[in-house]
Amino acid sequence: MTRHPFDCDFRVTPEQKIQFQRDGCVRLDGFLNGQVLRMLRDRVEVEMHRETDNSTTPALYRVNYDVEGDKEGVFNLLARRYFRQALTDLTDNDLFFTGEQIFEVEQNADIGSTWHVGVDSFGFQHSNEFGCTLWAPLQPVNARGQRGGMAYVPQHVISGEWVFEQIEPALVSTLRAKEKAGIRTSSFDYVSMRHGVLNSPAMREILENLCIEDDFEPGDELLFNKMVVHRGVALEEGPLAKRTAYVMRFVEAGSHYDLQRARNLDYPTQRYRTGLLTYKPLTRQPIEMAEAGAADGDLIAECAYFGEPGRRTLRRERRSDSA
């Protein structure tokens, strides 16, 4: 069989699988080869010059949360046996690819992102169902030098599950209760409440003390589940003018659409879309799935919102599967 340019000899070790199950995150050194990196850099260059409706947060130089364009190169990567095997072995799940994002930070221009979990990226899925992110820096990251990478806290140390499952749904009901009591709210109140939980002075000090910040070379990846607390780190003085990361999101293939969670995320867009403090979300993907016909409880992999579902699905190999 002819070897595809994207093929790689990467194999998951037993230690990596144990680490992912315990920590919710694991480094995958050398996971992408040079041909894949070239494809991704070309894709990033095209996408980051495309006009989008995404907001750029003050913490990020440029962010594209809804990558469009031709996905042939990405689908070719998903079709590689090593890629499929590694992700399904580590997560112990059949997976469905839900989208791509691009994050770019500029030297000395950004403060990095706040501590968070995957609320925006997985806001269409039931909270108890599995979702994960594959984070791929396209330039070197030196954690003890220029930095500009990712800081994260292993899930067995501090899990963000309570934020995802309990705090996030309570935000909208709290704001509605204030409005009902005659207290006017704004997008500032929503953002302050949402980011304040993990970024209060006390919590931020704890997370900064417990976090891990790794070195990466292009081709090295970080895989982490949606409950892992993490943040982007600012790019400091050094040789790189900017650092770009390409991100892929996956959910377990049998997971279901959560319409109420999507509506909660869309609430500030609808409530605060006029006035001085308008609200512009990073993505409307969760509610756009409903607009495309998804009903509460539908299988995400069968939602019309996603094109070519067969090419988005990564299935675990069985003993009878051919090589």
Do 114 and 233 meet the contact criterion of CB atoms below 8 Å apart?
no
pLDDT tens-digit series, residues 132-162:
999 999 999 999 999 999 999 999 999 999 9
Give pLDDT, residue 110. 66
Task: Return d(Cα 247, Cα 79) in angstroms, integer.
Answer: 17
Domains parsed from the chain with CATH numbers: 14-312 (2.60.120.620)
pLDDT tens-digit series, residues 2-22:
899 999 999 999 999 999 999
pLDDT band per the 50, 70, 90 thresholds, residue 113: confident
- By CB neighbour count within 10 A (0-12 exposed, 13-18 middle, 19+ buried), where does 24 fall? buried
